Amino acid sequence: MVLEFTDGNIKEAIESGKPVVVDFWAEWCGPCRLIGPIIEELAEEYAGKVEIGKMNVDENVDTPNEYGIRNIPTVLFFKDGEVVDKQVGASQKAVFKTKIDALL
């Protein structure tokens, strides 16, 4: 299940010790809609191993500003509370899987 991250709950997830993947998106963003189903599939495949969720940049501005999100979709990959990788723009599922596998 894809988590719904907000400015209020993301810190807890990042600091949980588990790997975390955050998709920064917006409803009006075409490429965001393209990777949405991929993010959902990955959340199912990595359930229990990686926290995978989405953050709407129109509803949450503090976290995107903190991490310098300037283009969407941007997917950040966290390990041990730190950003260790990122993917800007739409990409294939295999690219995301490779980056997630590197977190494990």
Q: What is the pLDDT of residues 15-39, one digit of tens each?
A: 999 999 999 999 999 999 999 999 9
- Write down how long the chain is: 104
Q: Which residue do the tokens 């949980």 mark?
A: 16
Residue 46 confidence class, pLDDT cut points 50, 70, 90: very high
Phi, psi of 101 (to 5 degrees): -60, -35
pLDDT at 41 (0 to 100) = 98
Mind giving me the DSSP string for 38-79? HHHHHHHHTTTT-EEEEEETTT--HHHHHTT--SSSEEEEEE
Q: Is the pTM of this model over 0.85?
A: yes
pLDDT at 56 (0 to 100) = 98
- Residues noted as catalytic: 29, 32
Using CA atoms, how far apart are residues 55 and 76, in angstroms rounded to an integer? 11
Question: 17, 5, 9: which is closest to 76 by C-alpha?
Answer: 5
Using CA atoms, how far apart are residues 29 and 16, in angstroms rounded to an integer? 30
pLDDT at 32 (0 to 100) = 97
Reported as a single tens digit per residue, the pLDDT across 47-97 is: 999 999 999 999 999 999 999 999 999 999 999 999 999 999 999 999 999
pLDDT at 36 (0 to 100) = 96
